[in-house]
Amino acid sequence: MFEFLRFYTVYLALTSGIIGLISWNKLPVNKAKFLVILIWFSAVIEKVGYYFTAWTGILNYYVFNFYMLVSFSAYILLIRSILSKPNHRKAGILSFILFIVSFFLNTLYFKEDLNHSYTYSFAIGVLLIMILSCLYLVEIFNSDKILNFKKSVFFWYILGILVFHVPFLPFMLALNWILIKHDESIFSLVVFILNALAHSCYIIGFLWSEKKYNY
């Protein structure tokens, strides 16, 4: 019943991407504008992934593995760029290096099964993002930013990343380890709902944020 619902996530990305463009003037620096670019990039990947198999006859794991490499690298570097403490910024660089190394090691080790490469690289990426996000929140709650953190587009974007990836990780691992039965309808429904929650966070960030807090 819901088998093709996940392919409609592109429209969620287009909606938040358009609102991001409308809010462009509220994004004063390149790292804030980069959020909009990442959303549009995800929309393009969704469309390419949908047609990739029809175009090439090859499973679209290649597309989404590439997307995972780019997106997680971007997330890590983005969070690192808004961290202020030197030790936290060093942790951001180490996380980036660790993810890149783990991605290529996983791809090499599971070269006969790219789905496994995707699963374990995804898990490592999510854990690193969770750690860096915690560091970001600690900095907020220990500074004057606590008074206006809801007015920052970065807070809402990071929240959106977490809202999607943190619940999806155990769900995907359970599917991979055959702890739950793979049902395409349930999978598509979960992906769509989590994307809807994530893009809702992005939209709130674009609409509620104020320019002076988006540096």
pLDDT digits 0-9 by tens, 65-74: 899 999 999 9
Are the beta carbons of 136 and 143 closer than 8 angstroms? no
Residue 59: predicted pLDDT: 74
Question: Can you tell me the distance from the alpha carbon of 106 to that of 111, in angstroms, rounded to the nearest whole number?
Answer: 8
**200 exposed, middle or buried (CB, 10 Å; 0-12, 13-18, 19+)?**
middle
Mean pLDDT, the chain, integer? 91
Residue 5: predicted pLDDT: 84
Residue 138: predicted pLDDT: 95
Residue numbers of the chain with a pLDDT score lower than 70: 1-2, 111-117, 179
Parent domain of 12: 5-213
Cα dist from 148 to 73, 137, 194, whole Å = 27, 13, 26
Instruction: Provide the domain count of the chain.
Output: 1
Residue 114: predicted pLDDT: 63
Question: Can you tell me the distance from the alpha carbon of 196 to that of 160, in angstroms, rounded to the nearest whole number?
Answer: 10
- The DSSP letter of residue 210 is -
Give the other-Cβ count within 10 Å of 22's Cβ: 12
pTM for the model stands at: 0.93
Residue 38: predicted pLDDT: 97
